[in-house]
Amino acid sequence: MKNRIAFLVMASLLLSASVMAQDAGFQSLFDGQTLAGWAQRNGTATYRVDDACIVGKTNDRSPNSFLCTEQIFGDFELLFEVKVDSPLNSGVQIRSQSKDGKPEGRVNGPQVEIEAGNENGSTSGYLYGEAAGGWMTPDAERTPHPHFIREDWNSYRVLAIGNRIRTWLNGSLVSDLVDEEKFQSHPEGFIGLQVHGIGAGQGPFEVRWRNIRVRDLTGFTSLFNGKDLTGWKTNGNWLPQEDGSLLIQPRVGENGWQRYDAYLWSEKQYGDFVLDLEYAYPAGGNSGVFFRVSDCANPVEQGSEIQILDSSGKQGAMGHHDHGGMIRTQGASKNMSRPPHEWNHMILACQGNHVQVILNGEPIINLKLDQTAAKDRPRHGFIGLQDHGQPNDIRFRNIRIKQ
């Protein structure tokens, strides 16, 4: 009975996390039970559902096979987990097409590589042009890496915005590629799960996918253009960098956090939105994301804040003043802090009374404001980034919002 109760509790937590991720703009591409929304193109490999996974199995002498979404995607963020038999090569197509627009036409377009590699490493996560010119990742950058785990589950993140495609494998950035030519020929298309062809007498081999989720980034707008502070107001020392990031570097003598005019404030106000941003703090770095602030001269009392703090060394439960917590309200459910100087990725979703935070891929805040101490906080207002004073040099980048 105890085991059954534990199983039900875990199932409930997983379901809550899945729903939360969808609420933050993600949708599941796989329902865990059927192949609804997918169609096979090319090849004779087989696809089935087993234990909440899509399983692709090789077929003798079959050419490359693809299980493809019926939906088309342009700018998006894709998350999935994959486990592949070591002898098999595989991949995930993005922005892909069928030749002449026919279902039987040759699948072509960018592919995110999946291959187990060997003792020297793996090329998983690099970009390949399937029936579209071969490797997109240049030879000089396509060096084997240690991030792929053989014969086990691997987590991928793919971020495609315009001509730039970035891939992460098990939390590590593998590829950051700008390819204008491929963007012109393949600006949008389906997502496809590849089972690579094999020769006679080989196999059979299998590849499994699960937790396949996508977030359509169409409709997101950049709050920071990477060059100047257009769209923002501040008296602080916010410095655009050559790499497109934004550095807050308090001047000598600028100490403490109660210098509200030194914060970076959006010129526009927002109510219901999804905010997506990345940031990197130094050791001990401290900042915050303010939202729905009705009075920028008094944001602590007239707004809400999600804490940014180097909590990478913290043990035990997370309080509301620790990284990812909503100040005066609730601490993060899990410590997802990256080490100093590494990039953290935060998604903040607000809809009416509902506030959610996903930090580095993990849901950490999911609350209804009317059940908290923040029940009387404004539901509409400015977005702000905090200047906590010396010596908190913190970088932000890829600040995007969707209303």
3-state SS record for 346-377 = EEEEEECCEEEEEECCEEEEEEEHHHCCCCCC
Residue 126 near residue 206, CB atoms below 8 Å: no
Which pLDDT score, from 0 to 100, does residue 21 have?
Answer: 42
Question: What is the C-alpha to C-alpha distance for residues 330 and 189, in angstroms, rounded to an integer?
Answer: 40
Residue with tokens 């039900």: 8
Question: What is the C-alpha to C-alpha distance for residues 243 and 256, in angstroms, rounded to an integer?
Answer: 28
Strands 394-402 and 221-222: antiparallel
Helix (H) or strand (E) holding 224: none
Residue with tokens 């953290």: 344
- CA separation (Å) from 313 to 191, 310, 345, 346? 38, 8, 18, 19
Where are the alpha helices (H) located in 301-356, listed in sequence order?
Answer: none
Burial bucket for residue 258 (CB in 10 Å: 0-12, 13-18, 19+): exposed
Percentage of residues in the chain having pLDDT higher than 70? 94
- CA separation (Å) from 381 to 251, 304, 320, 398? 28, 10, 22, 21
Helix (H) or strand (E) holding 183: helix 180-185
The SS3 of residue 13 is helix
Which pLDDT score, from 0 to 100, does residue 307 have?
Answer: 97
pLDDT tens-place string over residues 152-169: 999 999 999 889 999 999
Residue 273 near residue 380, CB atoms below 8 Å: no
pLDDT tens-place string over residues 244-268: 999 999 999 999 999 999 999 999 9
Residue 96 near residue 110, CB atoms below 8 Å: yes
Strands 89-98 and 238-240: unpaired
| Helices (runs of H) and strands (runs of E) counted in the chain | 2, 28
- CA separation (Å) from 312 to 114, 165, 330, 339? 30, 28, 18, 6
Which pLDDT score, from 0 to 100, does residue 303 have?
Answer: 95
Amino acid at 335: N
Q: Taking the model in full, what pTM does it have?
A: 0.72
| C-alpha triplet 159, 384, 299: angle, nearest 5° | 150
Residue 14 clears pLDDT 50, i.e. is over it = no
First to last CA, the chain: 46
Residue with tokens 């891929």: 361
Supply the DSSP symbol for 249. Answer: -
Question: What is the C-alpha to C-alpha distance for residues 56 and 239, in angstroms, rounded to an integer?
Answer: 49
pLDDT tens-place string over residues 191-216: 999 999 887 778 799 999 999 999 88
Query: Which domains, and CATH codes, for the chain?
Result: 2-216 (2.60.120.560), 221-402 (2.60.120.560)
Residue 85 clears pLDDT 70, i.e. is over it = yes
Taking residues 287-297, report their average pLDDT: 97
Taking residues 9-17, report their average pLDDT: 36
